[in-house]
Amino acid sequence: MTHEEPQEARPEAQADTAPGGTAPAPAPVTVLGLGAMGTALAEAFLAAGHPTTVWNRTPGKAEPLVGRGAVAAPSPEAAITAGGPIVACVLDYDALSSVLSGQEAALSGRTLVNLTSGSPEQARAFADRAAGIGLHYLDGAIMITPPGIGGPDASVLYSGAPEVLARHRTVLAALGEPVDLGPDAGVAGLYDTALLGLMWSALSGWLHGVALVGADGVRAADFTPIATRWLSGAVAGFVGRYAAQTDTRTYPGDDASLDVHLAAMEHLLHASRARGIDTTLPEVFADQVRRAVAAGHGGDSYARLIEVIAK
Ligand code: NAP
């Protein structure tokens, strides 16, 4: 990554020397991919005043953005060379590779911020390929759905070339709070997959609860405020305490032991079966607890299950 960024330097230098000598003018940016997420990204850049160039495989999706001030590039090459960092958000890494295929010369010396979802291994392989053509590469994972982009709950995890995030932090902050996870390009995707697993566990747990109380006539709208308070307060507190236990591999059962958890899980299983509700989810965590208890750890905290899960 020793190449300079000659064509990006011009607009960004202009931005730093804005007339009046006060705040610099918003820097230019390019968005590749205008699906639901790419469109939201481009809208956020435009809303923050950044001159925004857009490109999409299906050109019609650019039209509403052009109506709001974006410039539609006629080709990937024109988009890549428009100036400013290139923010890519297409379906997957194969799609991105096909968009960038044959563009190595145009990409050399540029900056690519890849917000396309993928595995840590794909991100690391892409970073290696980028280094081989002198492309400055930052990988990212968007932790919000399109309607939340640019809003107070939006954050984007970044990992890869640290100088890229430092140089373009102001532009990227238009999307959501930038979270720097360091120089290994695979780490943003690693956190992303782990956090999605956490989200699915929480969503399915909540839906199981909705089904359970719903069987006795309780509306989801009545159950949910109690559930979200439980999640954001008590459950978040358990996680914070157990993080230290998993790191030190010591699991004092001084709050609630696995024996106590297992007894409560049997109640959940019983109540679910009595109402004809699918028990796949509670069987999974009851199975993990039973194995830990059978191995003699019934007096330990819930964090002991890391030994079952991580093996
Ligand atoms: P989407 O609405 O289905 O859009 C997919 C985009 O990829 C479109 O621009 C599509 O172009 C393009 N594309 C697909 N195959 C292509 C190919 N072979 N060559 C060129 N372009 C291709 O999906 P999305 O919701 O915007 O998601 C985009 C990325 O953001 C994904 O990696 C997703 O995991 C990630 N993400 C999404 C969310 C979310 O809530 N939606 C949240 C976090 C991360 P066409 O318009 O021409 O089909």
Residue-wise pLDDT for 172-196, tens only, equals: 999 999 999 999 999 999 999 999 9
Pairwise CA distance, residues 74 & 50, whole Å: 20
Enumerate the β-bridge partners of residue 156.
Answer: 142, 178
**Closest C-alpha to 164, from 115, 223, 213:** 115
**pLDDT tens string 34-70:** 999 999 999 999 999 999 999 999 999 999 999 999 9
Query: Does one domain contain both 140 and 238?
Result: no
- Domain-located, residue 196: no
Pairwise CA distance, residues 288 & 23, whole Å: 56
Domain boundary at 182, 200, 223, which? 182
Query: Does one domain contain both 219 and 162?
Result: no
The predicted pLDDT at position 16 comes to 32
Q: Does the beta carbon of 301 sit less than 6 angstroms from any atom of ligand 1?
A: no
Pairwise CA distance, residues 91 & 115, whole Å: 10
Taken in order 68, 74, 80, 83, the sign of the CA dihedral is: negative
Query: Does one domain contain both 159 and 60?
Result: yes
Best residue for ligand 1 mutational test, from 55, 75, 90, 157 (most atoms within 8 Å of Cβ): 90
Pairwise CA distance, residues 7 & 85, whole Å: 10
Pairwise CA distance, residues 210 & 20, whole Å: 58
Number of domains in the chain: 2
Pairwise CA distance, residues 69 & 66, whole Å: 5
Pairwise CA distance, residues 135 & 199, whole Å: 33
Query: Does one domain contain both 10 and 56?
Result: yes
Q: What are phi and psi of 77, to 5 degrees?
A: -65, -45
Q: What are phi and psi of 66, to 5 degrees?
A: -60, -40
**Closest C-alpha to 195, from 250, 155, 234:** 155
The predicted pLDDT at position 113 comes to 98
Pairwise CA distance, residues 264 & 44, whole Å: 46
Which residues of the chain are under the pLDDT cut of 50? Answer: 1-19
Q: Does the beta carbon of 284 sit less than 6 angstroms from any atom of ligand 1?
A: no
3-state secondary structure of 44: helix
Token pair for residue 60? 């019609």
CATH of the domain at 63: 3.40.50.720
- Domain-located, residue 188: no
Query: Does one domain contain both 273 and 137?
Result: no
Domain extent, residue 78, equals 5-182
| C-alpha 95 to ligand 1 mean position (Å) | 9
Average pLDDT, the chain: 93
| C-alpha 31 to ligand 1 mean position (Å) | 12
Residue minimizing CA distance to atom 34 of ligand 1: 117
- Domain-located, residue 200: no
The predicted pLDDT at position 24 comes to 77
Query: Does one domain contain both 10 and 144?
Result: yes
Q: What is the pTM of this model?
A: 0.90
Query: Does one domain contain both 170 and 278?
Result: no
Q: Does the beta carbon of 119 sit less than 6 angstroms from any atom of ligand 1?
A: no
Query: Does one domain contain both 163 and 58?
Result: yes
CATH of the domain at 239: 1.10.1040.10
Query: Does one domain contain both 242 and 160?
Result: no
Pairwise CA distance, residues 18 & 55, whole Å: 27
Beta strands in the chain (DSSP E): 29-32, 52-55, 71-72, 86-88, 111-114, 136-142, 155-160, 177-180
Give 145's contacts (C-beta < 8 A, 6+ positions apart).
none
Question: 160: left (phi > 0), else alpha (psi -120 to 50), else beta?
Answer: left
Give 208's contacts (C-beta < 8 A, 6+ positions apart).
272, 277, 278, 281, 282
Query: Does one domain contain both 266 and 136?
Result: no
Domain boundary at 140, 166, 182, which? 182
Query: Does one domain contain both 35 and 175?
Result: yes
- Domain-located, residue 22: yes
Q: Does the beta carbon of 272 sit less than 6 angstroms from any atom of ligand 1?
A: no
Token pair for residue 42? 């481009």
- Domain-located, residue 205: no
- Domain-located, residue 190: no
